[in-house]
Amino acid sequence: MIYSAKSNQKAMDGDGRNSPFTASLKKRLKESGSILSVVTRVIGDVKKSTSRRQTPWMEGSLDRPLFLLAVSSGHTVTTSPVKPPDPVVEPLEPIPGTILVRSTPAGAEVFLNGDRPRK
């Protein structure tokens, strides 16, 4: 989810037909790239065009890469799913009184009181 302005900040209307956020989003959605790179460009555009008085805010998570592909009018695109990379789990030192939740393809694993996954 991308918001036109961060919390407690008013989104500006701009001088043209569209707000700075909408104008940038319309422009950037026509470009190829990962959705994160597109959103990063939108955030940069809005901050620049508003002299840093407005900062779009992104919230959420993706469980796999998501890409936009710019296509000329009249062309057809065929896609196939991309397998996400296997997660990398770094070993952690036990910390008493903590809860560790590790996401796995089968669900979630919960470790209490500093216990850590055993190999």
Report, as ranges of residue numbers, the positions in the chain whose pLDDT lies below 70.
71-79, 87-100, 104, 113-119
| Residue-averaged pLDDT of the chain | 79
* DSSP class per residue in 2-58: EESS-TT-PPP--SSSS-HHHHHHHHHTTS-EEHHHHHHHHHHHHHHHTTTS---EE
The Cα-based distances of 62 to 15, 56, 66, 99 in angstroms read: 34, 18, 8, 23
Where does residue 73 rank: exposed (0-12), middle (13-18), buried (19+ CB within 10 A)?
exposed
Helix axes 35-49, 20-28, angle to 10 degrees: 150
- H or E element, residue 109: strand 107-112
Q: What is the pLDDT of residue 34?
A: 85
Q: What is the pLDDT of residue 88?
A: 64
Q: What is the pLDDT of residue 24?
A: 92
